[in-house]
Every structure is written in C-alpha cells, then in structure tokens.
Amino acid sequence: MSRPTASVPSNLPDPAALTDAFHVYEVEVDDGNVRYYGEPLDGEDTVVQRLAPRFRDRGYRIDLRYETGEHVLVATERSLAVDTVPWTNVVLFLATVATTLLAGARWYGLPVSDAPLRVLEAWPFALAVLSVLAIHEFGHYALSRHHEVEASLPYFIPVPNLLGTLGALIRMNDHIPDREALFDIGVAGPLAGLAATVVVTAIGVSLPPVEVAGSELVQQTELGYPLLIQGIAAALGQPLAYSDPSLMVNPVVIGGWVGAFVTFLNLLPVGQLDGAHVTRALVGDRMDVVGKLVPAALFSLAGGLLVFADGQAAFIWVVWGFFALLLARVPGAEPIDQSSVGPGRQAIGALTLLLGLLCFTPIPIVVSV
C-alpha cells in the first residue's frame, strides 16, 4: 500500500529514535494523529511499554495496532481539558437522577402512580445514592488529573431497579506513568467513597424512620448491614431496625449501604477494579496470582450460603463469581515505570483493603417473593 509520506512534527520522536523497538518505514499525519508504519521488534506490550515514555514526555499517548496487514504505531495528543459539553455524561446523569428518584419513591412508599410529582419527595434518597457514587468517581478523576492521566468525567448507569442505578465509572484512555500513580488513582475512589458513606450513613440514621406499612417493596426486601454501617449506627446510638414492623430506617441509610457495598465490590483484586489497581501497585506481577483466587473465593462463599443459610444471597455471589472470571481475562493496568511504591503507600493500601472488609456482609440483600 502506498500513501503520501509526511514529516514528523518537531515535537515528536524522529523515526530513527524508535529503532530499538519499532522499525519505521513510513509516517502519516492523519487528523491530528501521527501514524508510524513499521515492524515491531518485540511483543506489542513490550514495544508500547518501551516507547510510551518518549511520547508521554512530549504530550502524546501511543497505541500499537494491526491494520490491513500492517503494524501502525498511532500517536495521539493527550488532553486533560474538557473542551466541550460532555453530553453523554450529562444525559446519563439526568437519567440516573430520574431512576433513583423512582427507586426512592418505592422505598418511601410514595403513591407516584396517583400523584406523579410526589416522586420529587424522594430527593433525599436520590441525593444520598448519587453522592456516594459521584464522590467515589471524582476521587479517581481528581487523582488522574493530579498525575496528568487522561480520564473521562463519570458515566452514571441508570437502571430501573431497587436502587435506580448500577453505579458509575470513569474511563481512562492513557498510559499510567508509574506504580505510585496507579496506586493513587486506584485508592482515591474507595477512600473518597468511604468518607461519603460514613457521612451519608450518619445523617441517615439520625433522621426519623419512615412509615412503610403500605410499601410492598419494603415488606419483601431485607438489607444486610456490614460492620461499617452497624458501627456508625451504634456509635450514634441509633437503631437499624424497629420493633414496629410498619417502620424502617430512613431511606437515606440505604445510600450509605450502597456506598459500602460498592466499595467492597470495587476493592476486589481482579481485572480493572480498584482493588486490582491498588494490589498491582503494591505487589506488581504477583497480582495475576491474586486475581485468579477471587472467583474461587466468591463461588466458595455462594456454596457456603447454599449449605448454611438456605441459599440466601448465594445468587449474588455466583453472578459476581462469573463476572470475576470475565474480569480476570482482561489485562490489568500496566504502569510504565514498575518501581515499587514506598512504605507510606503500602500502609495506606493495607488500611484501605481492611476498610473494604468492614464493608462486606455475606447476605447483603434478600428479596422474598
């Protein structure tokens, strides 16, 4: 295939400077991207790891592809700015506001079918859930910006379920410079989310209970509270259950429950989850062994619940066991610089994983039909 050969922009490496990893025979400038056509001299991951620092220092990220029979190293200019209105993020957020309001209306037992505008009365629940999710994701986003790693704003996931959402995520489309950056970005979300969870739970248990005699959802649903939620309620001298079956804790507490459950799941050390980033930053390539143990642990937990708890919540852990199997097949984030993190980050990582265990409960939710 022939194409016009372009000169390399002055701020990018000359093709001759790449010959230790990628032999370039042609260069093309295409819509702001610079494409080096050539032959890799090693495996794809090794080539990218070796060359990425040279481009990152000049404000670019690289991606090695195989297109129409040729290898091409694509250099794309990195940008940390939000240049346009992120309409996808905005629309998903507004949709999640709507679905969490509808979910909250069910927890409050509001008759929205007769008076649709009463759904707005569920704003405390929606605010609680969205707050813990948003603060978690903006923890990642803030540290991504700090380490100059290109990342998207949070994408919220609206779903018409008991909570109104499946959570939120950010997308990183950049190389991680070193294990310190990987650790900081990975740990920032869970720690920020934990702080939000503590605040939301403390507010929730301090609010008066709600009357739920007419709520079919509440009568059919039982939440299992992890030690973190139980400890906050005990410290404030507030109950999480009432002898009067017509009363339940204020639904704001469910926002704290969401924060704790999401934190535990995110700290599982597998795939691209936060726990995998933190663990990989701490132990390096040994993370691959750890990740293989997670599905087995989840399936074992499900089996234990089938034997000793009449199968309550076993389905949740079976689903997450299969999900973990899929995640384990996805390569984890590989920082460019593999130097170990210091003892300070090691201590913070150990503390974070311990706090994650406080967010665990074997039977998080039971819905009876």
pLDDT given at position 268: 94
Q: What angle do the packed helices 343-358 and 227-235 form, to 10 degrees?
A: 80
How far, in Å, CA of 363 to CA of 311, rounded? Answer: 10
Residue 149 binned pLDDT confidence (cut-offs 50, 70, 90):
very high
170 in Cβ contact with 277 (< 8 Å) = no
- Is 15-77 CATH 3.30.1360? yes
Enter the tokens of residue 92.
């998903």
Q: Which residue has the tokens 């934990």?
A: 194
Where does the chain hold its CATH 3.30.1360 domain(s)? 15-77
Distance of CA 143 to the CA centre of its chain: 14
Q: Which residues are CB-contacts of 244 (< 8 A; sequence separation ≥ 6)?
A: none
Question: How remote is the C-alpha of 307 from its chain's centroid?
Answer: 32
User: How far apart are alpha carbons 191 and 183 in whole angstroms?
Assistant: 12
- Count other C-beta atoms under 10 Å from residue 69's C-beta: 6
Reported as a single tens digit per residue, the pLDDT across 154-193 is: 999 999 989 999 999 999 888 899 999 999 999 999 999 9
Token pair of 262 as six digits: 């999401």
Both tokens of 50, joined, read 């070796």
Query: Phi and psi dihedrals of 9, rounded to 5?
Result: -55, 145
- Distance from C-alpha of 233 to C-alpha of 230, rounded to nearest angstrom: 5
Number of H helices, E strands in the chain: 11, 10
Length of the chain: 369
| pLDDT given for residue 214 in this prediction | 59
Q: pLDDT tens, 66-114?
A: 998 999 999 998 888 777 889 999 999 999 999 999 999 999 888 888 8
Looking at residue 288, its pLDDT comes to: 80
pLDDT, greater one: 7 or 122: 122
Q: How many CA atoms lie within 13 A of 156 on its CB side?
A: 29
What's the confidence (pLDDT) of residue 369?
Answer: 64
Determine the residue type at 182. L
CA distance linking residue 5 with residue 35, whole number of Å: 10
pLDDT tens-digit series, residues 305-340 = 999 999 999 999 999 999 999 988 887 778 888 889
User: CB-based burial of residue 366 (10 Å sphere; 0-12 exposed, 13-18 middle, 19+ buried)?
Assistant: middle
CA distances from 314 to 91, 231, 239, 309 (A): 34, 25, 27, 9
User: For 14-36, how does the pLDDT look when each residue is reduced to its tens digit (9 = 90+)?
Assistant: 898 899 999 999 998 877 789 99
| Tens digit of each residue's pLDDT (9 = 90 or more) over 258-307 | 999 999 999 999 988 999 999 999 988 788 888 889 999 999 999 999 99
The separation between the first and the last C-alpha atoms of the chain, rounded to the nearest angstrom, is 64
pLDDT reading at 196 higher than 60: yes
**pLDDT tens digits, one per residue of 211-261:** 876 566 677 788 999 999 999 999 999 999 888 878 889 999 999 999 999
Q: Which pLDDT score is estimated for 358?
A: 96
Do the Cβ atoms of 273 and 190 come closer than 8 Å? no
